[in-house]
Chains A and B, each alone.
Chain A
C-alpha cells in the first residue's frame, strides 16, 4: 500500500502542501479543494490525509473506487455518480466533497506536496 505519511511534529503549518494540491488538481489555490488538509488550531497541527484504508471502496454502489496495483485507492470519474456515500463512510474524513461538482476527491499519494513541503513533514511510503 502506498501512503502519504505525515510528520506533524515537523509541520510548520505554512499550508504550501494545500496550495500545491488544489492548484494541481483543481487549478485553484483553495485549501478546501486540497486532498491534504492542515488544521493549525492545535500544536502540533493536525495533518489530515487518506490512509488508503478502503472503507470508501466498500460502500461505493458503482464500483467507482478501487485500489490499484500500487496500493492506492483511485476514483473512476466515468463510473462515479456523485452520491457522496464514500464521504460519509470515510472514518477519518479524508474523502472530501466538492460542492456543486460531480466527484468527491481524496489523496492518491502522488507525492507533489512532498516535493514542495519546506519542513520535510511529508513522505511517500510503502506500507
Chain B
C-alpha cells in the first residue's frame, strides 16, 4: 500500500440518478485544492445534452480567449452523457475527454471506453472538471460508495500505465474479488516530455485478472494531465445494476438492447468479425481498395501488407473472451494479446497484456512506416499505451520523419544515430523509448508533425513547401490512418473536422469513391453535414459509434438510406426516450448535435482559430506530391486528366501532368468547402451566421459575442 497524505477532501450526498442525469458536476481545482459541486441546469441539458456538450460548456467558462494548454486555467473535462453506463445496449460506456490541446491550441475531444465514465456517473456526477496545477504529484480519488472526493499525494514511483493502473486497482479495491469496481485514468512517462500523448482509461478484466487500458488518444491529453501533476484519477463504485441509470422505461431499453445482441450474434461472423479480430478486420479491406496508408500516405496498397492481415493478429489475440470495454457490449471488439513478451525496453522479457492493436495502430505503427510484422506492431502498441503515447500521431509522425530521412532532410547525424529507413521497427521503438526517457531524437518526433516541419525548415534548411505537402497534419493534429486522395468527400471529412483530421466526424470513402453515391458537391456537402452531426451525437450521449454500422441488420441494404443504417438510428431514438423519458425523433437527434457542433466551432474561433485557412489539407491528402507517387498510379491520374479535366495527357511531362492534376484537385477541394460551409449554415469564411445560430437554438449571448467579431 502506497503511503498517501490527503491534501483535500470533499463529502457529498449520495442520491439516485434521475433518468440518466445526476444534475450536478464535480469541480476540482488542483492549485487551490478547492473541490465543489456545480449544478447542471435545465439550460445545460436542453442545449448541451451531456458528454462532449457538457465538457465544452464547462471549459468555455473555465478558460480565457488566450488560454494555452499549459496555463493553470486550462481544464481537463470528462463527461459521460445521459445514456452512458446503461448495461442493456451495446457500446454504452464511453467517456468524452476535452482539453485545450498542446498540439492544436483549440479544444480536442476524445471518445474513450473503460469503466471510469460510467462509475463516475453512478458515483453522482454528470461531468468531472479539473482545473489548476498541483504543487506536488497527486492522485484524485472519487469514492462513489461513500460520497467522498479526495486529492491525495502520489509518491508512486511508476507512472507507466500498465503498472500504475494495476497497482491502483489493487490499492483501492476492497478485496481481490472486487477489482472490477475500480477504474483508473493514467498516462505514462512520455507525457512528461512530448506532446503526442494520450490518457488510458482502465477496466478490470475478470477473466485475465489484469487492468485493461483504453485510450483517449488524440491531441495530447496526457501532456496536459502531467502538466497538472496528476498521476491518476481513481473512481470506485460497487452498485452497478441494470437500472443504475434509473431509466424511464427499462423494458423498452432491454428489448432494444436484446434485439441488437441477437443481430450481432447472428451477423458478426459474416460481417466485420469484431468478436474475433476487432477493428483490424479493416487492414486487408483497406489494402484491397488502395486505402491503407503506406510510406507516409504515399501509397494505399502493397503486397507486404499481408503481414498485417487480420488473420495474423487473430493468431495473437486470445479468442473466445467477452471482450467488451463496458458491460453489455456484445460487439466485444477490444481484443488483447496475452502473455506478450516485449523484446526491447524496460519491460523486455516480462509477460504483459496488450490491448489491441486496433486498425488505426496497425495502419500508423505498421503499414505507414512499412513495419509488416504483426508482433512488432503489438510491441509498439504496448509501449505507446504504457508510456501514454497516441499510436495515431506516433505513426504519422514517425512516417513523416522516415520520409524526411529518405529525402536527405534527416540523416544519422541529425537523428542521433537512428537509421530511419522505412520498416526499421527497432528505430521506431527506440524513438518511443527516447520519448519516455526524455532524450534524443524522440523528443523532436514527439512534438508532432507541425512542429517538426518548422524545426526541419529552420534548422536543416528543408524546403518548407515540400514539408507542408508531405506533413500529414491539419490544425496541428496528425491525420489518422486512411488514404483520402481518391475521395474528395473524405478530404473534407478529415480536414473540416473541428478538432483536426480524425475519422470520427465522417468516413465517407466507400460512399464516395467506391459506390459513387454522392457524386455532386451538394451530395457531398449533405453527407458532410449529416454524418458529422450524427456521429457527434454519440459523444453527447456517452456512446460508441461501432455498434451503429459495424454490424448491420440483415435487410439494411434494402432500406432507402443504407449508409445511415435506419433501423439503428431508430434504436438510438428509442433508447434515448427509454432512458431520459424525453421526446426525440431522428431530426431532433441531428439538431441536438448541431447546437454543440456549432458551439465547438465558435469555441475554436474564440481561441483565434476555426478559420477557412485552418481547413486546408496538406497536398499529400489530396493528390500525388512526388513523381514516384504519380507514376505508381499513372493510368489513374492520366485518365483523370482526360475524363475530368478534358486534357490529353499524351506527350506531356510528368511534372506538367502533376501540376494540372494539383490545380484541378485543389480547386475541387475549395468548391467542396464552399458547398459544405453553405450547408452547415456558415459564411464562405466558415463563420456560423447569426440566423443559423438562432435557428438551431445556439444563440447564447457569449456565443453571439464571439461570432460578431468575425462578421
B-binding residues in A (CB < 8 A): 58-63, 81-85, 87-89, 97, 99-100, 102
B322 touches A58 (CB 8 A): yes
Query: B261–A102 contact, CB under 8 A?
Result: no
Residues of B within 8 A of A99 (CB): 250-251, 254-255
By a CB distance below 8 angstroms, the chain A residues around B254 are 82, 84, 97, 99-100
Min CB gap B18→A, angstroms = 18
Residue of A nearest to B262 (CB): A88
**Chain B nearest CB: distance from A98 CB in Å?**
9
B607 adjacent to chain A (CB < 8 Å): no
Give residues of chain B (555-606) contacting chain A, Cβ–Cβ below 8 Å: none
CA distance A60 to B240 in the complex (A): 15
**Cα-based distance from A117 to B137 in the complex (angstroms):** 69
Cβ contacts under 8 Å, B696 to chain A: none
Q: Which of B101-109, B323-331, B380-388, B636-644 contacts A (4 or more CB under 8 A)?
A: B323-331
Given contacts A58-B320, A60-B322, A63-B206, contact A85 B261 (CB under 8 A): yes
Residues of B within 8 A of A102 (CB): 241-243
Q: Which of B88, B206, B243, B322 contacts A84 (CB 8 A)?
A: B88
B99 contacts chain A at the CB level, 8 A cutoff:
no
Q: A58, A83, A87 — which one has the most chain B CB atoms within 10 A of its CB?
A: A83
Q: Is the pair B180, A83 in contact by a Cβ cutoff of 8 Å?
A: no
Return B613 CB to nearest CB of chain A, in Å: 47
* A83 in contact with B328 (CB, 8 Å): yes
In the complex, how many angstroms separate the beta carbon of A56 from the nearest chain B beta carbon? 11
Given A81-B240, A88-B264; A59-B330 close (CB under 8 Å): yes
Q: How far is the CB of B133 from chain A (nearest CB, A)?
A: 38
Residues of A within 8 A of B265 (CB): 88-89
A62 x B320 contact (CB < 8 A): no
- Residues 167-183 of B at the A interface (beta carbon under 8 Å): 180
Given contacts A88-B330, A102-B243, contact A61 B324 (CB under 8 A): yes
The answer to whether B258 and A87 have CB atoms under 8 Å apart is: yes
Output the nearest chain A residue to B89 by Cβ-Cβ distance: A83
Within 8 A of A (CB), among B246-273: 250-251, 254-255, 257-258, 261-262, 264-265
Are B207 and A63 neighbours in the complex by a CB distance under 8 Å? yes
Q: Are A62 and B180 in contact (CB under 8 A)?
A: yes
B161 interfacial by beta-carbon distance below 8 Å: no
Answer whether residue B396 sits at the interface, using C-beta atoms and an 8 A cutoff.
Answer: no
Name B78-116 residues within 8 Å CB distance of A.
Answer: 87-88
Q: Are A83 and B255 in contact (CB under 8 A)?
A: no
- Per the bound structure, the CA–CA distance linking A97 and B240 in Å amounts to 18
Expressed in whole angstroms, the minimum distance between the Cβ of A55 and any Cβ of chain B is 10
Size bin of chain B's contact surface: 20 to 34
Task: Give B249 Cβ to nearest chain A Cβ, in Å.
Answer: 9
Contacts known (A62-B180, A88-B258); A81 close to B250, Cβ less than 8 A: no
Min CB distance A95 to B, Å, is 11
A82-B330 contact in complex given A88-B264, A97-B254, C-beta closer than 8 Å: no
Query: What 1/0 flags go to B195-238 for Cβ under 8 Å of A?
Result: 00000000000110000000000000000000000000000000
In the A-B complex, the 4 residue pairs with the closest CB atoms: A82-B242, A83-B328, A88-B261, A99-B251
CB of B261 within 8 A of CB of A84, answer yes
Specify the main secondary structure of chain B where it touches its partner. loop
> Is the beta-carbon distance between B88 and A62 smaller than 8 angstroms?
no
Residues of B within 8 A of A (CB): 87-88, 180, 206-207, 240-243, 250-251, 254-255, 257-258, 261-262, 264-265, 320, 322, 324, 327-330
Instruction: List, in ascending order, chain B residues with CB within 8 A of A88's CB.
Output: 258, 261-262, 264-265, 330
Given A83-B327, A97-B254, residue A62 in contact with residue B206 (CB < 8 A): yes
A60 CA to B327 CA, complexed, in Å: 9
Most A CB contacts (10 A, CB to CB) among B207, B255, B258 go to: B258
Contact in complex: B322, A82 (CB < 8 Å): no
List of A residues within 8 angstroms of B87 by Cβ: 81-83
CA distance A82 to B88 in the complex (A): 7
Cβ of B242 and Cβ of A85 under 8 Å apart?
Answer: no
Given the interface contacts A63-B206, A81-B87, A83-B87, does A100 sit within 8 Å of B327 by beta carbon? Answer: no
State in angstroms the CA–CA spacing of A81 and B206 once bound together.
14
**Which residue on chain B has the smallest CB distance to residue A85?**
B330
A102 to B239 CA separation, bound complex (whole angstroms):
13
* Distance between Cα atoms of A83 and B250 in the complex (Å): 12
Q: In whole angstroms, how far apart are the Cα atoms of A81 and B254 in the complex?
A: 12
Residues of A within 8 A of B180 (CB): 62
Residue of B nearest to A98 (CB): B254
Q: How far is the CB of B175 from chain A (nearest CB, A)?
A: 14
A64–chain B nearest beta-carbon distance, Å: 10
- In the assembly, what is the distance between CA of A84 and CA of B256, in Å? 11
Q: Could you tell me the distance between the alpha carbons of A63 and B327 in the complex, rounded to whole angstroms?
A: 11
Contact A87:B324 (CB < 8 A) given known A63-B207, A102-B242 = no
Q: What is the bound-complex CA distance between A23 and B206, given in angstroms?
A: 35
Give B656 Cβ to nearest chain A Cβ, in Å.
60
User: CA separation between A63 and B88, bound complex, in Å?
Assistant: 17
A85, B328: Cβ atoms under 8 Å? yes
Closest residue of chain A to B86 (Cβ to Cβ) is A83
New A-B contacts (18) at CB < 8 Å, excluding given A82-B241, A97-B254, A102-B243: A58-B322, A61-B327, A61-B329, A62-B180, A62-B206, A62-B327, A63-B206, A81-B241, A82-B254, A84-B257, A85-B322, A85-B328, A87-B261, A88-B264, A88-B330, A89-B330, A99-B254, A102-B241
